[in-house]
Amino acid sequence: MPRSHPPYPDEFRERAVQLVRSSDEPISKIADELGISHQTLRNWVHQGDVDAGRREGLTTEERDELRDLRRKVKRLTMERDILGKATAFFANRGEEIR
């Protein structure tokens, strides 16, 4: 599914999370002031806690690695399927020549 807008810069995310942690204001108010979705800011704060080891879950680095590995598995699966079809094609073609 395409994104509705380009991703926010990392520096913006980090500053927004710092603002939440250093302020007594609710996340919803800070998000409104920054012009972002409340849930987006909640997600950033949650992920920051995971990355810092304060919460359980996959760190950003682990998520990136998992995404890359899934892409590789998908590509390798497609390559395997293509090679299997090519093998079957040439095996049948060899029988026709005999």
- pLDDT per residue as tens digits for the range 25-57: 999 999 999 999 999 999 999 999 999 999 999
What is the DSSP code (8-state) at residue 3? -
pLDDT at 3 over 90: no
pLDDT (0 to 100) of residue 25 = 95
pLDDT (0 to 100) of residue 56 = 95
Could you tell me if 16 and 34 are in contact, meaning their C-beta atoms sit under 8 angstroms apart?
A: yes
24/13 Cα distance (integer angstroms): 18
For the chain, give the number of residues: 98
pTM, entire model: 0.70
